[in-house]
Copies of this chain bind each other. A is one copy, B any other.
Amino acid sequence: MTGKKHKVTVVGSGKWGSTIAKILAENTREHPDVFEEEVQMWVFEEEVTIPKDSPHREALGDQTHKLTDIINRVHENVKYLPGTALPSNVVANPDLRAAVKDATILVFNLPHQFIDKTLEQMKGHHLPYARAVSCVKGVEVANGRVTLFSELIMEQLGIYCGSLSGANIAPEVAAEEFCETTIGYSPPPMDLDAKDELSPDNRHVINKQRQRKISSTSAELQRVPDDYPCVDERLLRRLFERPYFHVQVVADVAGVALCGALKNIVALAAGFVAGKGWGESSKAAIIRIGMMEMIRFGRFWFPDSVNQKTFTEESAGVADLIASCSAGRNFRSAKHSVEKGVSVDELEQSELNGQKLQGTSTTRAVCDFLSTHGKLDDFPLFNAVNRILDGKVSVDELPKLLR
């Protein structure tokens, strides 16, 4: 009765996008009953010269090649994920519209600054009943509003979109070091009503508030045709879970996405404290306080849908926060700025070639947002990070500001 198979496309091919494509392609091979084997990966085309020490130098020579050609010939993204073999059923495609055309499952995994333009190009060129998962990090905070990228995808394309986030440092996942991730996904009502064979697990995942929220946009959403397997928790596990990559599915799409954005503010704070030479007790306190403010923020803006447990018990929450406060770029840069006695802005100029850290822009946007809503005083850590970034308070004042 499940006559058709899902066709999966990854939109994006950076370090994390290529890693996710690898995982998905491993799984489509393992479950040929529900998925087409081939996984299309949309690649923003560029010319790449094979490095002298590359093991592919012999096969490819020393001239430049199109990145898609390289990936399809040697099954490695030599530019963004060198050293990791991609399954041969990952097919790089430079044509966005062609790559997404027949996909019933779209996995978005590209830097947030490219998402608007990408969605614009995709409009009307994808299946109207496709389902999506966003691995895009961050949220859009502007004009007193917070918008999740999953919401943006739903609005722009008229398809349902969940979110994926977790303690997943891409090269570690690519190397198949054990980790976990969280997928926020509550199947839209029309998918559920159409199916009888829903697993109890899947019913369990449905969060009433969230469902109500989706219902408001449901008019535009189209049902996945009955001859496809239902896109539910079980299917998402089959698609994303590997022996080295464990998946939890929760209904709280907003919480999952928010965690991935707000953690960077906390990572800056943890870096400041580490830069002072304070020990693990201090860092642990900052992580705890930061997590509580992340929850408060989620409850303020998404009171109906955010579940505290996403923050305190899931990989997207507490685990990603821990990893980001130990190994992330925001943490390291903030630590370095204190050690060198320069501002983070100066450090971005002198050491990151003017590239902005995600944490600094998120901190400023979030604090502007909170200020607009008169809520800044409820978030002493976020506020303190913002003021440290602006040189208005010193790290030494943190304990007092957090009391």
In the complex, whether A196 has a CB less than 8 A from a CB of chain B is no
Which chain B positions have C-beta within 8 A of A318? Answer: 284, 287-288, 291, 312, 318
Q: Which residues in window 246-286 of A have CB below 8 A to B?
A: 246, 273, 278-285
Q: Provide the A356-386 mask, 1 if CB < 8 A to any CB of B, else 0.
A: 0000000000000000000000000000000
B312/A280 in contact, CB under 8 A: no
Least Cβ–Cβ distance between A177 and chain B, in angstroms:
4
Which residue of chain B is the closest to A242 with respect to CB atoms?
A: B399
Query: Chain B residues near A243 (CB, 8 Å)?
Result: 399-400, 403
Q: Please determine whether A169 and B285 come into contact, CB atoms closer than 8 angstroms.
A: no
Q: Which of A52-60, A153-161, A212-220, A319-327 contacts B (4 or more CB under 8 A)?
A: A319-327
- Asked if B319 and A288 sit within 8 Å, CB to CB, the answer is yes
- Asked if A292 lies at the interface with its beta carbon under 8 angstroms from chain B, I say yes
| 10 cross-chain pairs, A with B, having the tightest CB-CB distances, nearest first | A179-B281, A167-B284, A312-B312, A284-B319, A172-B279, A280-B327, A178-B399, A177-B278, A284-B323, A280-B323
Contact of A142 with B by CB under 8 A: no
Using A178-B399, A243-B403 as known contacts, list a sample of 16 further A-B pairs with CB atoms less than 8 Å apart, ordered by residue number in A: A167-B281, A167-B285, A169-B280, A171-B279, A178-B398, A179-B281, A180-B288, A243-B400, A279-B327, A283-B326, A284-B320, A284-B323, A287-B322, A288-B314, A288-B315, A292-B313
Chain B residues with CB under 8 A of A28: none
A-B contact pairs, 13 of them (CB 8 A): A166-B281, A172-B282, A177-B282, A178-B273, A178-B282, A178-B402, A179-B284, A243-B399, A243-B403, A246-B403, A284-B320, A288-B319, A292-B313
Do A285 and B180 touch (CB < 8 A)? Answer: yes
Q: How far is the CB of A246 from chain B (nearest CB, A)?
A: 6
Measured between alpha carbons, how far is A236 from B52 in the docked complex, in Å? 66
- The CA-CA distance from A318 to B317 in the complex, in Å, is 12
Cβ-defined partner of A285 (8 Å) among B280, B289, B291, B315: B315
- Closest chain B CB from A276 CB (angstroms): 8
Is A178 within 8 A of B326, CB to CB? no
Contacts of A281 in B (CB 8 A): 166-169, 172-173, 177-179, 323
**Residues B179 and A285 in contact, CB atoms below 8 Å apart:** yes
CA distance A179 to B322 in the complex (A): 16
Nearest CB of B to A71, in Å:
24
Give the residue of B180, B278, B283, B326 whose beta carbon is less than 8 angstroms from that of A280.
Answer: B326
Q: Is A80 part of the binding interface, using a Cβ–Cβ cutoff of 8 Å?
A: no
The residues of B that contact A292 with a CB separation of less than 8 Å are: 313
Minimum distance in angstroms from A233 CB to a CB of chain B: 16
Q: Does A300 contact B (CB under 8 A)?
A: no
Q: A244 at the A/B interface (Cβ < 8 Å)?
A: yes
CB-based nearest B residue for A288: B319
Bound form: Cα–Cα A400–B167 in Å: 18
Q: How far is the CB of A191 from chain B (nearest CB, A)?
A: 27
Task: Tell me if B284 and A172 are in contact (CB < 8 A).
Answer: no
Task: Report A396 CB to chain B, min CB distance, Å.
Answer: 9
B278 touches A178 (CB 8 A): yes
For A282, the chain B residues whose CB sits under 8 A away are 172, 177-179
Known contacts being A281-B177, A282-B178, A312-B312, is A319 close to B287, with CB within 8 Å?
Answer: yes
> How many Å lie between the Cα of A312 and that of B309 in the bound state?
9
Please, which residues of chain B bring their CB within 8 A of the CB of A177?
278-279, 281-282
The smallest beta-carbon distance between A195 and chain B, in angstroms, is 27
**Candidate in A172, A243, A318, A398 with the most chain B CB atoms within 10 angstroms:** A318
In contact, B246 and A402 (Cβ under 8 angstroms): yes
Q: Looking across the interface, which residue of chain B has its beta carbon closest to that of A180?
A: B285
A323:B179 contact, CB within 8 angstroms: no
